[in-house]
Chains A and B, each alone.
Chain A
Amino acid sequence: GAGVSQSPSNKVTEKGKDVELRCDPISGHTALYWYRQSLGQGLEFLIYFQGNSAPDKSGLPSDRFSAERTGGSVSTLTIQRTQQEDSAVYLCASSLAGGGNEQFFGPGTRLTVL
């Protein structure tokens, strides 16, 4: 499809395990964002990639969280040694460029840490 896709749609893991979440942005979009949405909460910014620039990692909650974007397209968000408080929906968005351009969101990955 032409939209942002994310996989898996649901992930259940045990506390202490590592997880990888994937985002495929819209083709041609240079900016990519990751957000976390806890139950009944708003969107918490995690990390922002824009072209070949160094990513803005200011929203990552701890050093257990990391993300990379290979070839300026697909991005992977990795959470190491997962904790129960990591349970949330992880949303990815992309836009034509950064700044005030409209962000298009994927459907999210629902992560449950037991």
Chain B
Amino acid sequence: GQQLNQSPQSMFIQEGEDVSMNCTSSSIFNTWLWYKQDPGEGPVLLIALYKAGELTSNGRLTAQFGITRKDSFLNISASIPSDVGIYFCAGLYYTGNQFYFGTGTSLTVIP
């Protein structure tokens, strides 16, 4: 199946640091979603983006829908231990009926 390019693949950071990850696609999307997956559980939606250029925050999380419609980034400020997990982006083509998921970014926060 088709997947988005998500980077970095993994991150090891100190508690309190900021985190940035991104997703890119060769095709135009009209919706971007960011999910977090804790071990042994299904992904949970963090932020949804529906418009090019849109910048949306959810607490310490901020995500942006790229102007070109081919990319999106997620920032986490002042990381804490419970931020540990795998973060996935997901994109929907404007003519599509299913989301394509990124390969995930594994985040480890060192206390």
Contacts and interface: CB of A to CB of B under 8 A. Distances in A.
Contacts of B65: none
A111 interface: no
| Interface range on chain B (Cβ under 8 Å from partner) | 20 to 34
A108 to B, nearest CB: 6
Interface residues of A, number: 25
B61 interface: no
Interface stretch (A14-22, A64-72, A79-87, A94-102): A94-102
The 8 nearest A-B residue pairs measured at CB: A105-B42, A43-B101, A42-B103, A100-B31, A44-B1, A98-B97, A45-B1, A42-B101
Contacts, number: 62
Interface in B5-48: 6, 30-31, 33, 35, 40-45, 48
B104 A56 contact: no
20 contacts: A4-B42, A40-B106, A42-B6, A42-B104, A43-B43, A43-B101, A45-B1, A45-B99, A48-B97, A48-B98, A50-B97, A99-B97, A100-B31, A100-B50, A102-B33, A103-B45, A105-B35, A105-B43, A106-B42, A107-B41
A14 to B, nearest CB: 24
B88 A42 contact: yes
Interface in A22-78: 33, 35, 40-45, 48, 50, 56, 59
A100 B42 contact: no
Interface of B: 1, 3, 6, 30-31, 33, 35, 40-45, 48, 50, 88, 90, 92, 96-104, 106
A48 B1 CA distance: 13
Looking at A44, A93, A103, A107, which has the most chain B CB atoms within 10 Å of its CB? Answer: A103
Interface of A: 4, 33, 35, 40-45, 48, 50, 56, 59, 91, 93, 98-100, 102-108
A25 to B, nearest CB: 12
